[in-house]
Amino acid sequence: MRRFITSAIAAVAVLTVTAACGSSDAGGSGEKAGGTAKVKVGAIPIVDVAPLHLGKEKGFFAEQGIDVEVVNTTGGAAAVPGVVSGEFDFAFGNLVSLIVARSNNLPLKAIAEGNSSTGQQGKDFGGVVVPKDSPIKSAAELSGKTVAVNNLKNIGDTTVRASIRKAGGDPTNVKFVELAFPDMPAAVAAKRVDAAWIVEPFFTVAQNQGARVIASNFVDTAPNLTISAYFTTEKNIKQNPDLVKRFTAAIEKSLKYAQEHPAEARAVLLKYTKIDPTVTEKITLPSWSGQINRESVQTMADLMLTDGLIKQKVDVSELLP
């Protein structure tokens, strides 16, 4: 946690002495190619960001005069400093990362939904899995166990703790370890961890290898939980309002298209993830409603306060569009 906050605060220092937030001297709109704004978007290569890649493929960003370069990240904790420092013009990040950043006075603002839970127990796009012959039957039994998450002190451990509480267990003595999503199925199969929180497409990969699902942690956290958002800095919004407006319009069109064309959302996964084509037909897609469930985000912020990720209550209205 200290490492993340230190990096992010250092990034703020960079931000304050640069002329703008972005890859050039006028944010993303400063670097032009034939009148087109070139922007960098930080995004973790998982199913959640299929609309971003699909929208780029369909020309929705080009329609808005934007040339998007997607840069892979490991998660929201990496995306936040990247946006604050100007490495990325925009990024995709889970809302826990953004709430932590906001609680530390980092000048970030969500501009559009990223994705949301399906809201269906046992039918979500991610969950907590254990080895096939594990004695663990429910989230309550994770107390004292080792659970893999992609980033420590983030949305994984926050929502897993919510599952443990709901199941009647003690969430205070779980040992969380950091592991990249692509590495989790093998770690579970080899029993290097007792359990793992995984999202698609690796969620299905793990189940194909015999892993059992014991909890739908997003569903346990709040009804129709909004998981993530596309975001930028307040400085970028003030200095490049037209660019931000056009990017927001393009990503919202992309979200709507992906929601209405799930087959194409599955197909685009093959372009940016290393996944067996047969797996794309089996995965559960998240919801891309285009709407942020503000109540669910506030619930998550309150859980973060309970778990000690933040030191004081956060009003998420300052973060959300």
Domain limits for position 83: 2-117+224-318
The two three-digit tokens of residue 276, written as one number: 């067996």
- Cβ-based burial of 307 (10 A; exposed 0-12, middle 13-18, buried ≥19): middle
Q: How confident is the model at residue 247 (pLDDT cuts 50, 70, 90)?
A: very high
Note whether 112 and 206 are same-domain residues. Answer: no
Q: Residues 213, 297: one domain?
A: no
Looking up residue 198, the CATH number of its domain turns out to be: 3.40.190.10
Instruction: List CB contacts of 168: < 8 A, sequence separation 6 or more.
Output: 140
| Domain end (from 187, 221, 255) | 221
**235, containing H or E segment:** helix 234-239
- Per-residue pLDDT of 286-296, as tens digits, reads 999 999 999 99
Alpha-carbon distance 34 to 18, whole Å?
25
CA distance 187 to 272: 23
Is there a single domain that holds both residue 192 and residue 243? Answer: no
Torsions phi, psi of 116, nearest 5?
-140, 160
Digit-coded pLDDT (tens) for 187-216: 999 999 999 999 998 999 999 999 999 999
> Measured between alpha carbons, how far is 294 from 2 in angstroms, rounded to an integer?
28
**How does 11-42 read in b/e, with b if 16+ C-beta sit within 10 Å?**
bbeebeeeebbbbbebbbbbbeeeeebbbbbb
Predicted structure pTM score: 0.85
| Count of domains forming the chain | 2
Q: What is the mean pLDDT of residues 245-258?
A: 98
Q: Residue 14: is its pLDDT beyond 50?
A: no
165 and 237 assigned to the same domain: no
229 and 210 within one domain: no
